Amino acid sequence: MAQHREGILQGIRVIDFTDFLAGPYIGMYFADMGADVIKFENLKSHGNFVRNARPLEPKTGLSMYFQNLNRNKRGVALDLKQDEGKKLFAELVKSADVLIENNRPGVMKRLGFGWEECKALNPRLIYASISGFGQTGPNSYKPGYDLIAQAMGGSMSITGWPGMEPTRAGMAIGDLFAGLNVGVAVCASLYEREKTGLGNHIDVALVDSIVSGMEAKLMQYVYTGESPVMTGNKYISSAPYDSFKAKDAWFVIASGTDKHFEVLSAAMGMPELARDPLYCDTELRKKNADALKSVIENWAADKTVAEVIAIIDKAGIPAAPIYDCEALCKDDSIIKDREMLVTVPSPKNHKEVAELTVIGNPIKMSETPVKYKKAAPDLGEDNDEIFRELGFSDEQLGAFKAAGVMN
């Protein structure tokens, strides 16, 4: 049996001072990879807002939104409005390699733990701030959510079919892009710190993250002066690259080159399409994409999606069924073979069920695979353990609890 090395981020301590999605999402990645991620929550507000977000696990009542994003983390809860709470948090900062926060700019400084204050406590600290509009600029004071980012970052203007109202992506892509951008920046900063011994302040905005993801669409405007428009599932660079209707359901074809189309046409039993003056090169296929879609849908009209995909797959052309969540969960090639639904042991205070199902980590590493060791912590679950590690006695911890500094 192959011997694996311990988690690739073992020995790195991350303070996850975040709520909602972007921050917890990248904190989850770090925890899966072996970092000691400490979920910090405000004791007086009863922890993260999403502790009550649906869906709920029916027997325990636990929020699976929260559980999925916070597995593998330890939990601390303090009252930062009390001086003793601030002192305890300062000790935590001194012990950390990374702090991630997603408060509105200025909130952390008012608490006494902005970048400059934390840098003074720990010059090696990598401090990542996630916000709607960033730490600078005239909009920095505004609250920012995924919908705001998709609206102002441009993606809603190109999502949907011609004539539709602007539409957000079904996933919270602003939050997810921002979280992943923080992950790249943190890992780069950890590498740079090995050489300099110094930390870094990372400033990631949800709006910026969407703008970055606009790629060729934004370049179209910059270099032609024409704003891209909604094209449904069509792709601006090639055709057929779209969704199509079969007898029973929908599927997609991603034919990206002239050679692809030649092979696809032959697989459909219509090799003459590749020589047709309407479709014989990429630019012509893009221009006549609607007519070509009708040709493909007429061919698929008496076939099931499974039959269509079998024919196109055999030819080696990219094609796929369009899954909803039920179909996705029934595809063992994704769920089991790629381990995209996994289980973690139930929290120690919720043994009504033995384990909870969460979404697997998409990053697979041969020598340092991710591990799923524990469920998300209850509020302040690891206060005693963590602050004992920092040198506090049981007597001191008891006094803090009595004063309402920690639970």
Phi, psi of 137 (to 5 degrees): 95, 165
Going through 26-108 in order, the beta strands assigned E by DSSP cover 36-42, 74-78, 98-101
Going through 84-206 in order, the beta strands assigned E by DSSP cover 98-101, 126-131, 200-205
Neighbours of 29 (CB within 10 A): 22
* CA 341 – CA 334 distance, rounded (Å): 9
Q: In a 3-state reduction of DSSP, which class is residue 333?
A: helix
For residue 42, the cross-strand partners are 78
Active-site option among 36, 175, 208, 242? 175
* CA 157 – CA 297 distance, rounded (Å): 28
Determine whether 175 is an active site residue: yes
What separation, in Å, do the N-terminal and C-terminal C-alpha atoms of the chain show? 44
* CA 225 – CA 104 distance, rounded (Å): 34
Torsion of CA 168, 256, 325, 247, to 10 degrees: 110
* CA 46 – CA 61 distance, rounded (Å): 16
For residue 127, the cross-strand partners are 99, 201
C-alpha distance from residue 230 to each of 24, 161, 176, 227, 349 (Å): 32, 5, 22, 10, 49
Contact 62, 56 (CB under 8 A): yes
The catalytic residues are: 175
